Structures are given as structure tokens and as C-alpha cells.
Amino acid sequence: MDFDNPSQPQQGGLAQEDTINLRHYWHVLLERRWLIITAFISVFVLSLIYLFKATPIYQATARIQINQENDNILRIEGLAVGRQEQDYLQTQYKNLMSRTLIESVVNKLKLREDDRYAKSVDVARSVAGDIQIAPIRLSRLVDVKVEHPDPKRAQQIANTLVTNFIELNLLQKKQAAIDIVKLLEGEAESQKKAVEKAEQALHHYSKEHNMVSLEESQNIVLQALKDFQAKHTLAKSVAVAAERVVAEVDAQIDLGTSIYSLPQVAQNTAIQQLRGDLALAEAEFAELKKRYRKRHPDYMTAEEKVTSLQESMRQTAQELVNSLRVNATIAKGEEESLKKQVDLQEQRQIALRNLRIQYDVLKRDAQSADELYKTVLATMKETDLTSKNKINNMHVVDPADLPLKSVKPRIVLTILLGLVGGLGVALGLAFFVNYLDDSIKSQDDVETYLRLPFLGYIPNIKTNSVLERDLQSHQHPQSNAAEGFRTIRATISLTHKADKFRTLAITSTIPSEGKSLVASNLAIVTAQTGLKTLLVDADLRRPSVHKAYQLHSPSGLSSYLTEEVDQLDKIVHKTEIPNLEVICCGSVPSTPSELIGSKRMVEFLQAARGCYDRVILDCPPISAVSDPLIISAMSDGVVFVTKFNKIRREHARKSVQRVQNAGIHILGVVLNDIDFEGKDSYYYSYYYYQNRYYASHYTSGGGKEKGTVVAKSRNGD
């Protein structure tokens, strides 16, 4: 072994644990083998009875194909409802099992008179129970399977079902088309009224606002607005120019510039003409001045002419300046007038725009209503034509043939299920019963549930003789039972401070667990070691030691406790076994509990300890009376005996707890009455083969042990 690898011990431990678990399951099967066999045979026989009594069932299969629905009756965009293909197929599968369809088959074939359905309260439901819908994967094919004791009847139901289904599907489509046509007719009438209403609203709106055409009115106003805007722009520029000229003239006059020097005056034709005439007149007047005096008529005429021309030129110049101011005023007025016209046209344009908003709404409503009305009319005509030439998307691929061979009962499958089911029920029942069985059977049970040391096993002693059972270790010293008692003796002697346990009380939970057997044989094997041993029958209610040792003396423990006998040696009986003496119960007293708990009992035990190396007390069971508690409290220790597969764990645990609560020390537990060679061998096969090995050694050496047995008996008291 590689000690450096720490995983090896763990793996070995896991393997051992698995082996133990598997062995435990195997032991359970062996222990419950008759239950398993009985349950298995019962289930298998029931399956055979079912095969014998079952009515043959025939199955007829019809196959149909369900294609995709391509005809969308409502082709109006936004109103068509798309449908997933898989949802459609699943819906059709459910429709094949619809009550309406099955009722049609029942009525057509008069299935209420059929013997299979005549007694049924709900015939349609019973028929549906015989129908199976089996879609073929990755295809549009569907098998409709019908089961019936009559093969012809199964064929009729299958074919009628698929035929009615296809006819009903086509009828539903036609009816749906007719309903849609009626719906469209109503919708068309409604849309027609909506169109008329929208057109009337549009006409009323135009008439109310005195507009033949809102678009044309809006164009005229817009054109007028553009014209006035152009004229206003021109007038504004003219007014600005005129005002600028007036401002320049006023500025020149303010600066003292002669009015005749102004460009607007100087460039005037009339001024230029007057200026020329004035120059000629002045020239003539200058000549006349030289020739005439002031009062001369020519002088005066020439002077008046010059003065008149000067006055005319001054007035003309002033008129020219005034005309510039008037022109500027006129231009400004015209510009303001055109501005008002522009504002007026703009207001009219805004008003028309506001009117146009509502006008457009009414116009769109009228157009939409008209378009929808035309669409509904077209769809109605198309649907009407489609409903008259409807194509079914379903058809029969294979009609059902007459079945020639029954499908139920399935003989091979039923027998196989009977075998497997019987085995499963048997194993489940075995493990369930084992789960409910909480009796003490092994050392693990003792250490786990009772939490006490385990002293040893006692095999079943197969004899009816009380003498042979209780004296087994003496009469058959090489037997397995004797070896078991020696093992218990060795275990007790090897306990911590074993010398202190000189007085031992032997008890159990209930009667007939073998406490007297253990007490007697433990006393024998103890005496065989050379220790002076005393066996006391402390069961003052059902004594048994005197039977094993064939003692019939009326004097015993009861006589000593009632003070009929003063000395211990008067009730002690010697036996043929060296170093072993026995005290019987004597006469059964009327108050055993009082005697056991008396001071006299304490004196008895003190006297016994003084005379013997070991004192073994055969006590009553714990759950029956209180005597064993009293005796155990006076003893140095208690040996607890439990019978294999008899006492429940909880019952034994409470009995042990009752002893421990009294402060009494329990040395350990002895497991009694194990049939190593029979039904219990699967629990302790290793123990049995070990003992058999050593027993064969003694018997081959010429020992007296022949292994003969008499009638089988459990190791009871």
C-alpha cells in the first residue's frame, strides 16, 4: 500500500460502505422473500386473469391531410388577422374531438343502440374515449384511430368521423363567407352614408363662406396681395425720394442759398425761359437808362417789364419749391394708402388660411370615406364570388380499412408488464414492510438506537426441552450457543473495572425474550472459569430456574425474604456443574414487589456477595413490573436481553431509558434467538460460518456433539 497517498483509505471506506449497503438490501430481499414471491405471483396471476377475461379490441385508422388555409376572406389591410400555422393545426386536432362532431357521428350511426355505449350516461363522452388523434410528426397528416370490439363498427366510426369533419369544415367556411358578405353589405351601406355626409359638410362649408372654390379664392387674394405689395414698395420709394428732395431744398434755403440756385429751380425750363427773358429785358432797360429819364414812357415800360419778369421768375421759383413739397405729401399719402391695402389683403389671406384648415379636414374626410366605400364594395364583390366557389383545404388520404387483428389486449406486453410490475410491486412492498419494521435485529441497531454496548449474539437453540436450553453451555459445551455465552462472558470480563460487577441482574423489555436462558447459561460459563457462582431466580411472579435444574424444593428466595429461613445455605442448591449453585424462587408470594424492595433483600444480596464470586439474578421484564428496577438498583450492573426481530426499537429504548433514569448502570445488550442456519442467516452468515468452522473442528475430533436437533423452538423464558 502507498501510505503517501491519503486518498486510498477514503476510497476503500467508500467501497466498503457501498458493499455494506448492497448487502443490506440483499438481506432485506432474503428476509422478505416469501412476501416478494407472494406479491409477484399475485400480480402476475392478475395479469393472466386480465388476458383471459379481456374483450378483444380492434382499431381502425383513417388518415386525413390538413393543408394551410390560403384564402383570406377579409383582404382589407389592417383588418386581416394573421394566424400561426401551428396554432391552426392544434385547433383542428381539438375540433376532431369536439362534442358537436362526435354527436353527429353518434346520431348518424345510432351508437346509442350499440352494446358498448348503451349503458353509458354520456354516450358522446364514451365514444370520445375510443377515439385517438395522432398527428404524424413533420407533416400535415393526421391519423384518426378508433377502437371498438366490433372491427366493422370501428371502421364505420373512423370513416364517418373524418367525413363529417371535412364536410363540417367546408360548411363552416361557406357560412363564414356568407356572414362576411352580409357584414360587408352593412358596412358598405354605412360607408355610403358616411361619404354623403362628408360631401354635404364640405358643400355646406363652402356655401356658408361664399366660396365657389376655396383654392381659387385663395389664389385671387394672394395675387392681389402681391400686386399691392409691389405698388406699395414703388410708392414708398417715390415718397421717400420726394421727402428727401424737400429736405435738401429746405436745408439750402436755411443756409441762405438763393432759391434760383437750387437745382430743382435752376434746371426748370420755365425758369430758364424767364431768366433769358429777364436778361434781355434788363439789357434793354440798361440801354434805355442811358437814353431816357425815369419818367420817360419807354423807361417806365422797360422798368415795369424787368420788374414783372423778376416777379414772375420769383413766383415760378416759389411755385416750383411748393410743388416739390406737394409732390412729397402726395407720394406719402399714396404710400400710406397702398400700405392699408396691403394690410387688408394680408388679413384676407390669413382669414382664407384659417378657412382652409377646416376645409382641408372636411375634404380629407370626404376623400377617405369615398376610398373606404370603394374598397368595401370591391371586397364585397370578391367575397361574394369566392363564397360561391369555395375549396376545402382538407381531404381524406386513406379511409379506414376493416381491421383483421385486435390491438388489445397486448399479450406479450401484458405478460411483460405483469412480470416487471409484479417484481416492482414485490420489491416495493418488501422495502416498505422493511421500512415499517423497526425491530432490533443487529449490533448496529443496539448501538444506534439503544446507545448501549453490544455484548454478543445467542443463536436459536432448536429444542423443546427447557433443560437443554437453560443448560446448553453444560450439556453441549461445543455448540454455537455455548460459544455465544462464552463471548458474552468474555465481553463482560473485559469491561472497564469488571471486578466491581459481581452481582448482575438479567432482565428484558417484555416476557419470552430469553432472559432466564441467558441468566442460566451465563452462570454456567462463569462457573466453568473457576469462579464460585450463584444463580438466583429473582422472578417471584413466574419463576423458571427450578424447571431447568429440576428442583422442587418449597424453600427459596421468597422463604428467605419472608424470614421463614434465616440462613442462606438453607435455600442454596448445589448442581452437577462445578462452582455453580442455585437459589430458586420457592413458593410464589402474594406481595412480590414489597418483598423485593424490603431490607431483607438487601441483606440477602450482602450475604450472597460475601459467599460467592459472582451472583447472577434472573429478574422479571422491565415493562411488566417494577421488580427489576428495584433489583437492578441493588445490583452492580444489568445485562439487558432482547429477542431478535421481536421488540420494537422505541419500546426497547423506553425500557432502557427507564432503567437509566433510575441511575442503574447497564453493562450492555444481548441479542437472543438468531436462526443462523435458517431465516436469519442472511443477517449473520459470517458469524454462522465462523462458528461452524470451529464446531466442525471439535466434532471431527471425536467430540460428543453430533449436531442432532429436535423440534424447533425459540429461546424464550
Q: Give me 593's grid cell.
A: 414487589
The CATH number of the domain holding residue 621 is: 3.40.50.300
Q: Inform me whether the pLDDT recorded for 264 exceeds 70.
A: no
Q: Note whether 48 and 63 are same-domain residues.
A: no
- Number of structural domains, the chain? 4
Per-residue pLDDT tens over the stretch 672-713: 888 766 555 545 554 444 455 455 544 444 444 433 333 334
The CATH number of the domain holding residue 363 is: 1.10.287
Q: Note whether 568 and 695 are same-domain residues.
A: yes
Q: Note whether 666 and 644 are same-domain residues.
A: yes
Q: Note whether 224 and 140 are same-domain residues.
A: no
Q: Where are the beta strands (DSSP E) in 81-204?
A: 131-135, 141-148
Cβ-proximal residues to 65 (8 Å cutoff; 6+ apart), any chain:
140, 141, 142, 394, 395, 397
Q: Note whether 345 and 218 are same-domain residues.
A: yes
CB 510 within 8 A of CB 561: no
Which pLDDT does position 394 carry in this prediction? 86
Residue predicted with more confidence, 95 or 172? 95
Question: Looking at the domain assignment, is residue 189 inside a domain?
Answer: no
Q: Inform me whether the pLDDT recorded for 227 exceeds 70.
A: yes
Question: Looking at the domain assignment, is residue 591 inside a domain?
Answer: yes
Q: Inform me whether the pLDDT recorded for 388 exceeds 80.
A: no
Where in the sequence is the domain holding 677, given as residue range(s)? Answer: 452-700
Long-range contacts (CB closer than 8 Å, 24 or more residues apart) made by 254-262: 259/314, 259/317, 259/318, 259/321, 260/313, 260/317, 262/317, 262/321
Question: Looking at the domain assignment, is residue 9 inside a domain?
Answer: no
Q: Note whether 170 and 62 are same-domain residues.
A: yes
Give CA angle at 583 (581, 588), nearest 5°: 165
Q: Note whether 296 and 395 are same-domain residues.
A: no
Q: Note whether 321 and 336 are same-domain residues.
A: yes
Q: Note whether 224 and 305 are same-domain residues.
A: yes
Question: Looking at the domain assignment, is residue 570 inside a domain?
Answer: yes
- pLDDT-derived band at 487 (thresholds 50, 70, 90) equals very high
Element (H, E) at 681: none
- pLDDT-derived band at 323 (thresholds 50, 70, 90) equals confident
Residue predicted with more confidence, 613 or 275? 613
CB 437 within 8 A of CB 185: no
DSSP state of 439: B
Rounded Cα–Cα distance for residues 494 and 435 (Å)? 36
CB 631 within 8 A of CB 596: yes
Going by C-alpha positions, the residue among 641, 675, 647 that lies closest to residue 517 is 641
Q: Inform me whether the pLDDT recorded for 396 exceeds 70.
A: yes
Q: How far is CA 246 from the centre of its chain?
A: 101
CB 535 within 8 A of CB 582: yes
Question: How many of the other CB atoms lie within 10 Å of CB of 548?
Answer: 24
Rounded Cα–Cα distance for residues 159 and 455 (Å)? 80
Cβ-proximal residues to 681 (8 Å cutoff; 6+ apart), any chain:
675, 688
Q: How far is CA 150 from the centre of its chain?
A: 44
Question: Looking at the domain assignment, is residue 682 inside a domain?
Answer: yes
Per DSSP, the three-state class of 536 is: strand
Q: Inform me whether the pLDDT recorded for 653 exceeds 70.
A: yes
Average pLDDT over residues 13-26: 59
Residue predicted with more confidence, 584 or 302? 584
Average pLDDT over residues 182-198: 73
One-letter amino acid at 95 equals N
Which range (129-133, 182-186, 354-358, 510-514) has the least confidence? 354-358
Q: Phi and psi dihedrals of 691, rounded to 5? A: -65, -35
Question: Looking at the domain assignment, is residue 192 inside a domain?
Answer: no
Q: Note whether 584 and 639 are same-domain residues.
A: yes
Question: Looking at the domain assignment, is residue 711 inside a domain?
Answer: no
Per-residue pLDDT tens over the stretch 541-600: 889 888 888 888 778 888 888 888 888 888 999 999 999 999 999 888 888 889 988 999
The answer to pTM > 0.85 is no
Residue predicted with more confidence, 615 or 691? 615
Burial of 212 (0-12, 13-18, 19+ CB in 10 A): exposed
Question: Looking at the domain assignment, is residue 707 inside a domain?
Answer: no
Q: Note whether 127 and 220 are same-domain residues.
A: no
Q: Inform me whether the pLDDT recorded for 282 exceeds 60.
A: yes
Going by C-alpha positions, the residue among 566, 581, 575 that lies closest to residue 611 is 581
Q: Note whether 371 and 289 are same-domain residues.
A: yes
Going by C-alpha positions, the residue among 61, 18, 311 that lies closest to residue 162 is 61
Terminal CA-CA length for the chain: 51
Cβ-proximal residues to 163 (8 Å cutoff; 6+ apart), any chain:
396
The CATH number of the domain holding residue 162 is: 3.30.1890.10
